[in-house]
A and B are shown apart, each in its own frame.
Chain A
Amino acid sequence: MSEVKYSKEHEWIKIEGDVGTIGITQHATEMLGDIVFVELPDVGASVEKDGNAGVVESTKAASDVYTPISGEVMENNQAIVDDPGKINSDPENEAWFFKLKIKDKNELDTLMNKEEYDKFAKESGN
């Protein structure tokens, strides 16, 4: 069984056991426009909840990516580094950013479920 949760910074995390797969939401890609560059955290790096965990750049500007959960990066998705356009075409599936070993499952309680996030995204506008 896997579960997907969402952050206010428009990241999603799919939780399978103690592994989390993280990416940015469809709503985020629509706000950013065409993504042309991505920088991912290194494998082995420790990332802290709400801390920096990469960068996406559109034709217009650079934006930081934050991790919704603390943990150690186990894998990053080189396919989106080589072809950042994938992030626009399939942001919540194929174009995941990185996988991490979740440090503290209690942190997940601070995140939103799909229904809550959709409402939040709609209200945050843009």
Chain B
Amino acid sequence: MEIKKTSLHKLHNDHHAKFVEFAGYEMPIQYKKGIIEEHKFTRSNSGIFDVSHMGQLFIYGNEDLTNDLEKIFPLDLKNLKQNSSKYTFLMNDKAGIYDDLIITKLKEGYLIILNAACKDNDLKILTKLLNNKYKMILDEQKSLIAIQGPKSAEILNSVISGINELSFMTGNWFNYKDQKTYITRSGYTGEDGFEISITNRFIEDLTKKLIENGAQLIGLGARDTLRLEAGLCLYGHELDINKTPIEANLKWAISKERILKGGFVGSDIIVNQIKDGTKQIRVGVKPEGRLIAREKTKIYDEEDKLIGEITSGTFGPSVNGPVAIGYVQKQYSKKDTKIFLEVRGKKHPANIFGLPFYKKSYVKGDN
């Protein structure tokens, strides 16, 4: 299969990107300055991430659609306000996760942002679950960028005025050069920021404007260190078809109302796991010293018993030390529990850490 390129590929190239293949797309892993500087620039200033490889799925419909989507997602969509967003999951009937996603209620239906590697399968599953009743478009004509970091609001507002009215996890339509663009205040770095969806033809022009106003392009490498410091899950690592949202410690994302009433795909398992607990659970892991524990590193207790595995691990530039996320047996999940990580044949001490590693600075917006 031919590798796909986003509409910003040329701009990445002009900015000396190093490319990697990610979910069938050639994506920038880093630019000239490298992951650490890109990471720190995002935390202190404003970084632009090309996330056009992610799926933008529009589903058109009214109350019937809301009712039908409530049979799929563990959300209280009836009471979700127009232009508000929620983080949720597409699950199988065992509550295993097909994908994690952001769903936003629009006037004419819903917008769902899907992981690049999952989007085609998600569309098949959703089409089946919705019995082909609604018009669904996985829109390849639109690009998506995230702008993240404390100066992002100011920079974006100087290019598209009015975005300050947005509060966290809400969106709205704006105009850029008479082109309609849907912007949400959201992101995946632990910083204040926005995601901007606009037609492919305008994305390079808009991105260049943001760069002229002080933002910089940031690669997938720093996106990973930023989300890891923020304690956020990455599909294919922390989340997969063999894990449930309760095991992933994401109960907060499931509507309380829906836990009581059930009636969504996987609800029996979710309700039971909330009541009885799970055998394993997702935790933060902080290695002592500078040792980096990568994905698949085995976790042991003080008696040398295997108790879990790391799912993501790297060096966190803002905490200036190693950070990791993994799954351990429930009884070892308490903060500050001493554990051991097997790296290159040796056991190294580490501690269970209360996520996030880096405290977020999301803002509420003007209103």
Contact = CB atoms under 8 A, between A and B. Distances in A.
A, B co-complexed: yes
Contact of A33 (B30, B290, B291, B317): B30
Given A33-B221, A37-B322, A60 B292 contact: no
B30 A36 contact: no
A81 B225 CA distance: 21
A60 B290 contact: no
A68 to B, nearest CB: 21
A81 B289 CA distance: 11
Contacts of A34: 34-36, 315
Contacts of A57: 292, 315
B344 A59 contact: no
A79 interface: no
B29 interface: yes
A59 B35 CA distance: 7
Interface in B70-109: none
Contacts of A43: none
A55 B294 CA distance: 14
Interface in A50-66: 55, 57-62
B87 to A, nearest CB: 26
A84 interface: yes
A84 B292 CA distance: 13
Interface in A70-84: 81, 84
Contact of A60 (B35, B322, B344): B35
B315 A36 contact: yes
Interface size class of B (residues with CB under 8 A): 10 to 19
A91 B90 CA distance: 48
A87 to B, nearest CB: 13
Contacts of B221: 33, 59-60
Contacts, number: 40
A39 B317 CA distance: 19
Interface in B14-66: 29-30, 34-36
Contacts of B30: 33
Q: Indicate the member of A34, A39, A61, A88 with the most B CB atoms within 10 Å.
A: A34
Contact of B34 (A33, A39, A61): A33
A37 B294 CA distance: 12
Interface in B314-367: 314-315, 317, 322, 344
B290 A36 contact: yes
A58 to B, nearest CB: 8
A126 to B, nearest CB: 9
Interface in A25-43: 33-34, 36-37, 39
B142 to A, nearest CB: 30
B130 to A, nearest CB: 40
A59 B36 contact: yes
Contacts of A58: 35
Nearest to B37: A34
Interface of B: 29-30, 34-36, 221, 225, 290-292, 294, 314-315, 317, 322, 344
Given A59-B317, A88-B34, 5 more contacts: A33-B34, A59-B225, A59-B314, A60-B221, A81-B290
The 6 closest A-B pairs by CB, nearest first: A36-B315, A59-B35, A34-B36, A34-B34, A57-B292, A37-B292
18 contacts: A34-B34, A36-B36, A36-B322, A37-B291, A37-B292, A37-B315, A37-B322, A39-B344, A57-B292, A59-B35, A59-B36, A59-B317, A60-B29, A60-B35, A60-B314, A81-B290, A84-B290, A88-B34
